[in-house]
């Protein structure tokens, strides 16, 4: 069992090292942070979405911005599309593929940011949300685990974190990217928290 545990941690470290060595993805993370900073400076809002574990990551991102990350500071406008009554309503009336795009149509506006999270980069519900966001004049940030995905075609910037054969390593990297993005937003908007 210890060998399996060690192998799992080694695999996770290898995925993190690969991301750290990928200058293009580091540049994409910086660009995504800049989009978020400019949006929140203008009193815009961030909407996040994803399915399964990616929905949990979307929720985590939104709660860190509206709540607290490391130290006290004012709440920032962010929301995850995760209300079960809303999701079941739209899924029942329009089909599951529409659950995120309908929300974006109702709540998103020009200058806002959508963060769409999909390890495959092919989740139709997230792709349709990205399309709706672009139509609303929003900036789209995609977090994926596979390069050259369908979602990437509808995003202004894509952060791709391939982590191996399965989604779990990509998801582990997504949460690291999410924390980095939040930290960069705080450093820009609340620099006193980082002295």
Q: Is residue 142 predicted with pLDDT exceeding 90?
A: yes
3-state secondary structure of 165: coil
Amino acid 166: pLDDT = 77
Average pLDDT score, the chain: 96
State pTM to two decimals: 0.95
Cα distance between residue 180 and residue 65, in whole Å: 12
Residues β-bridged to residue 114: 47, 140
Q: Taking the domains of the chain in order of start, what are their residue ranges?
A: 2-190
- When pLDDT is averaged across residues 118-144 and rounded to a whole number, the result is 97
What's the pLDDT tens digit per position in 4-13?
999 999 999 9
HSE-up (13 A, CA, CB side) for residue 57: 26
CATH number of 2-190: 3.40.50.10490
Residues near 74 by beta carbon (within 8 Å), at least 6 away in sequence: 190
What's the pLDDT tens digit per position in 12-59?
999 999 999 999 999 999 999 999 999 999 999 999 999 999 999 999
What's the pLDDT tens digit per position in 49-103?
999 999 999 999 999 999 999 999 999 999 999 999 999 999 999 999 999 999 9
Strand order in the sheet with 113-118: 78-80, 46-50, 113-118, 139-144, 157-160
């Amino acid at each position: 069992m210890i060998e399996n545990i060690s192998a799992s941690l080694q695999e996770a470290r290898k995925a993190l090292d690969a991301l750290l060595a990928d200058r293009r993805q580091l540049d994409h993370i910086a660009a995504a942070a800049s989009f978020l900073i400019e949006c929140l400076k203008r009193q815009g809002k961030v909407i996040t979405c994803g399915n399964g574990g990616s929905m949990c990551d979307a929720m985590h991102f939104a709660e860190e911005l509206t709540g607290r990350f490391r130290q006290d500071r004012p709440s920032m406008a962010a929301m995850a599309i995760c209300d079960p009554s809303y999701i079941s309503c739209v899924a029942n009336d329009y089909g599951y593929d529409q659950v995120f795009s309908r929300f974006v149509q109702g709540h998103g506006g020009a200058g806002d940011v959508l963060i769409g999270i999909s390890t495959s980069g092919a989740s139709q519900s997230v792709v349709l949300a990205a399309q709706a966001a672009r139509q609303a004049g929003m900036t789209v940030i995609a977090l994926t685990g596979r390069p050259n995905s369908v979602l990437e075609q509808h995003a202004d910037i894509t952060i791709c974190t391939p982590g191996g054969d399965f989604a779990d390593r990509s998801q582990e990297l997504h949460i690291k990217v999410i924390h980095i993005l939040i930290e960069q937003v705080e450093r820009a908007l609340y620099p006193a928290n980082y002295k």
